[in-house]
Structure 1
């Protein structure tokens, strides 16, 4: 009898301890939530953006590693990209409501990468129409998207969880689309395959602002992934031809000198291609080519260790496939 009582007491102790631990964890997560601020920066008379952190996505930063932006028009608010978790999207919606009483009517997805789309469900809940390029359907139906979401529910918990869903667009764009809201034109054009197969850029002529998505990176090493680096370089030429006053990149600070800042992304991509092309074309080992390349210009930048080797390897493979 005494043994049974001790076992019951021990079990109760474990349960109470577990409850206390969970309570502490929830409190700690709540504290983290308060520290991840989504604060709009005004870059033109009616245009704002929020700047993600130059980090890898994590639970502590709620996957706030990418930018999003919005334009206030007399007919409603148009948002570009939805951030990397539902909680971030809720914060962005709250901040938009501090700026204007106008309803959020549209969200344009620059491309279907996790850090730009996991917040879409929150905009869908409030009735916004979602626009994206048609190749995004291939991603949504892919095993890659499913597995990435499963992993994200662990990596970014509790902010990405079992309630987080992949959201399809309401309007799928082929090459170009002119969205007019409140008399303001949003010139949407496909520029992929580049960073992603479904890249879109959004130009607002009345504001002279271009939302470039992940075609432009500032202040950190770009993420090349499975990009078409040759197509990406051509996309940068298209951005230059538009000659916007301001470029809002997918990552990093907004640019008031687009030609100078586009040059960084272009020079990095060109350097990857120039460094990897001889080995790729001669079928020489990647590792030898990588080790013999001088990376000193880039190795002090944020995310160099996390992304550069992978970028180089993917470019090495893509050149072989061209």
Structure 2
């Protein structure tokens, strides 16, 4: 393991590295580095320019060459705002992801630059005496990431993917094959993942979360369950999710069960889903506000708001 300012870098296979973020340091989303042999690929670029630069530097150090390929798993800022650091590389996404980024990324940056005081809204939440320990951890993490983003706002330039695919793209390097796949909308409008079949490694972006509550409000929970079922048909042992430590098949199954739990409860209950407490099996997960946001979203989705 190599420790950086923004990530811990783990070699999960020969020439395959998981970049696991330091919570609250600014990067927010995990990333990956893959040595294809004749080329180096980076999976996701985080929300931080300095973190993306660290990712770029470490990729060159570990593989001996600059990253020439970059994959954006989906459109959320914590996976794409670092793209400008890799402007000389070919940046790949689905057509849908690029389209949504083209509409929303400039608008987000314009809004954020016009409201540099917005981290104060998060800081003020720290005075809430009713915060649980998990809730306070989440606010402190969010504040650190948001202050980092705000400090670098003048530097951001919206940088879109330059190569898109519809359903799949196979990249054949001299050392290994990387398959880029999408089965549609799950966590976001379009979610892609990378499968390294010879190594049995998956980089899934935010299709799975490990030890964190997965947010549902920007996607399609029903399709998410179906998509995770299809992913589980693949042969893999190691999973790098968008949030959380390096995992395995059981963590994909766990995310699937989590989403199923919400859907089944919201569909079956005549009353709104109980928001009094988080089920014990998810109580240790980070991001408890996301849990309650999911309740609100699904209650509204099934007409129980």
TM-score of Structure 1 vs Structure 2, range by shorter chain: 0.7 to 0.9
* Distance in 1, Cα, partners of 2:278 & 2:21: 29
Larger radius of gyration: 1
**What secondary structure, in the 3-state scheme, does the structure 2 residue paired with 1:242 have?**
coil
Query: Where in structure 1 are there 5+ consecutive unaligned residues?
Result: 1-33
Deviation at 1:191, TM superposition (A): 1.9
CA change 1:148–1:247 in 2 (3 A) is: same
Kept in 2, the 8 Å contact 1:193–1:232? The answer is yes
Residue 46 (structure 1) aligned with residue 32 (structure 2): no
Residue 247 (structure 1) aligned with residue 239 (structure 2): yes
Residue of structure 2 aligned with 1:171, choices 153, 163, 174: 163
State the partner residue of 1:215.
207
Q: Deviation per CA, 1:140-190, whole angstroms, max 9, x where unpaired?
A: 233x43443345553444553122122211111111111223352211111
**What secondary structure, in the 3-state scheme, does the structure 2 residue paired with 1:178 have?**
strand
1:1-322 pair list within 5 angstroms: 36-53=5-22, 55=23, 61-62=25-26, 64-124=27-87, 127-142=88-103, 144-150=104-110, 152-153=112-113, 154=116, 155=146, 156-182=148-174, 184-255=176-247, 257-258=248-249, 260-278=250-268, 288-291=272-275, 295-304=279-288, 306-319=289-302
**TM-score, L = length of structure 1:** 0.77
Kept in 2, the 8 Å contact 1:85–1:159? The answer is no
* Distance in 2, Cα, partners of 1:294 & 1:168: 38
Q: Which moved more, 1:146-155 or 1:268-277?
A: 146-155
* Distance in 2, Cα, partners of 1:190 & 1:160: 32
Q: CA RMSD in A?
A: 2.4
Q: Deviation per CA, 1:50-76, whole angstroms, max 9, x where unpaired?
A: 1124x5xxxx522x2211001112211
**TM-score, L = length of structure 2:** 0.81
**What secondary structure, in the 3-state scheme, does the structure 1 residue paired with 2:159 have?**
coil
Deviation at 1:223, TM superposition (A): 1.9
* Distance in 1, Cα, partners of 2:174 & 2:301: 43
CA change 1:278–1:149 in 2 (3 A) is: farther
Query: Where in structure 2 are there 5+ consecutive unaligned residues?
Result: 117-145
* Distance in 2, Cα, partners of 1:120 & 1:205: 26
* Distance in 1, Cα, partners of 2:184 & 2:152: 28
**What secondary structure, in the 3-state scheme, does the structure 2 residue paired with 1:39 have?**
strand
Kept in 1, the 8 Å contact 2:273–2:295? The answer is no
Kept in 1, the 8 Å contact 2:6–2:25? The answer is no
Deviation at 1:270, TM superposition (A): 1.0
